Structure 1
């Protein structure tokens, strides 16, 4: 099945953090192998050399007040070099580890490798469960702790996927990207999913935060869908300052837009701002977002400024343990 769309009634079952938690932010890092983002998916694209940059990056982020949670996939969880890098990062008390499942590089390998099958939720439920079991066990073995936070690679949930998580010890899912749709690629549609945590299938969904900014931001979701049908509609809205859709990531999100999105989210009282990036972006040449040394400097300028703004506004980080306890 393709085009999965979460039930609106389920997304309305909001969860507020425990008393005293305050307004906080999380940082979930998609910690994965290196591959050509412009080429077809391949099972043998499993290099993890960029993981060498993780310990220094984790230290820098922790020094600036963040508490990164590295959501690792199968190539990371089974490579000694990558395991050692993550283990060094985990020496920081406020660094955590969770799961990210890329089905095309996660055993058992029973499905055809294709764009459609890169969305976990498009696979038979039994195969999804088998891949999840194999990856969960690999992470538990590698890091001597059971993962409690899950993200489907490519945000690829499907009907029944999320029901697999709680029985395997997961407490939080972060597979949904608020106000985004991948239906055109055969994936899920999260157009109606907002940023507030909500309860679903025995756990809590903490979507990747997406904020609408601009003069017409209150009509953001519906207006953005309308602009989908107008040639260059999104560009026109953005250039005129009427509407911007901004995810909280340095990857393809300009710094000025991100700072405004953070201000809006804080002003709207969003209890948890959920930020993210891909671990290969720590080394130039592995993602479209960090192609060279200049891009890497811009990547870190983004984090310097965003984390400084969060600190200035009194929004502290939430570690893996803290966010699980507050939402669980």
Structure 2
């Protein structure tokens, strides 16, 4: 296969976080339960045993949990070159708190806080990670992909060098969040911070159309308009916008999306999921025992397929070489 000659790197990013009801959008600082630590630990070991490297983006409640701390410390000790601890700020559970016990949906996006408040929360989590895990994070993930105009300057001041908060093709403005509809999967630098987007993109029945759209996201909004002709066009093309994640995306589409990104000129990918998806009933993606089995199996199968097909290198985000 000609794509084997392309140098490709893949980072597995785990959003290690507390459990809350995704359907109710209740962003309460008391939502700190982490009951899935054992499931998280077991699957991390499975991934590592197959040769994967893990970037574990931890939020405040996850680090505060003593069982999670023990798991993370063990992973760092046993796999020092293949486990990275990144920070993930969920504004509603990260001190200092500015809005009583519950955040509005607007303030659940940390980019909607003032520059001073955003700085305080990122610093708080960074210091907490260093205190409890003995590592200083250099990779940052904004919870809910809430990256804003002040974030890169804050990250630079706090010693970060990489941000993975961009979510190509996604529009969170209905939830008062950011709009990434004109963002591609291109990796670039901004104010001294490497910006590596969470891999998302277009697939369709036509590789030519797929490549064209993945490079020109400004046309996606037009194609998604409520227009009968465009709806028919989308159906005929089999057009889908997906994230490279086992959450709600089946194995065949994960393969299509990875191939489409590489063919579109974006060979360095992020494969991601949320840690609560490793326990039945905690996220919308894993509600049944069958869901859980499929989630794990298809994750393992995708990673093996990707490595075999593209002779890919599994890396931590911090080890990206360009």
Q: Report the TM-score, using the length of structure 2 for normalisation.
A: 0.89
- Partner Cα separation in structure 1 for residue 229 and residue 150 of structure 2: 35
2:254 corresponds in structure 1 to: 258
- In the TM superposition, what are the counterparts of 1:70-219 in structure 2 within 5 Å? 70-90=56-76, 91-93=78-80, 94-111=82-99, 113-214=103-204, 215=206, 216-217=209-210, 218-219=212-213
1:173/1:233 Cα in 2 relative to 1: closer, same or farther (>3 Å)?
Answer: farther
SS at match of 2:292: helix
Residue 293 of structure 1 corresponds to 289
Q: C-alpha deviations, 1:239-294, integer Å up to 9, x for none?
A: 43342212100011122111111122233342311111001111111111111211
Q: 1:237 to 1:30 in 2, by over 3 A?
A: farther
Post-superposition offset of 1:321: 4.1
Residue-pair matches, total: 305
State the secondary structure of the residue aligned to 1:49.
Answer: coil
* Shift, 1:173, TM fit: 0.1
CA contact (8 A) 2:181 2:220 kept: no
Inter-partner Cα distance in structure 1 for 2:34 and 2:227: 39
How far the C-alpha of 1:114 sits from its partner, in A, is 0.7
RMSD of aligned Cα (Å): 2.0
Ranges in structure 1 where 5+ consecutive residues have no aligned partner = 1-20
The residue correspondences of 1:271-282 to structure 2 (distance < 5 A) are: 271-282=267-278
Q: Give the SS at the match of 2:12.
A: strand
Query: Can you give the 5+ residue segments of structure 2 that lack an aligned partner in the other structure?
Result: 1-5
| SS of equivalent residue, structure 1 residue 251 | coil
Which range moves more in the overlay, 82-91 or 67-76? Answer: 82-91
Runs of at least 4 residues of structure 1 off by over 3 A?
231-239
Rounded to whole Å, the distance in 2 between the matches of 1:243 and 1:222 is 15
Residues 29 and 69 in structure 1, CA contact (< 8 A), matched pair in contact too: yes
TM-score (norm 1): 0.87
**After superposition, what is the alpha-carbon deviation per residue over 1:122-145, rounded to whole angstroms, capped at 9, x for unaligned?**
011111111111100001111101
Pick one of 249, 263, 269 that aligns with 2:245: 249
Q: Name the counterpart of 1:17.
A: none
Deviations 1:69-112 (A, max 9, x none): 11000101122121112222322231111100000000011125
Bigger CA drift: 237-246 or 226-235? Answer: 226-235
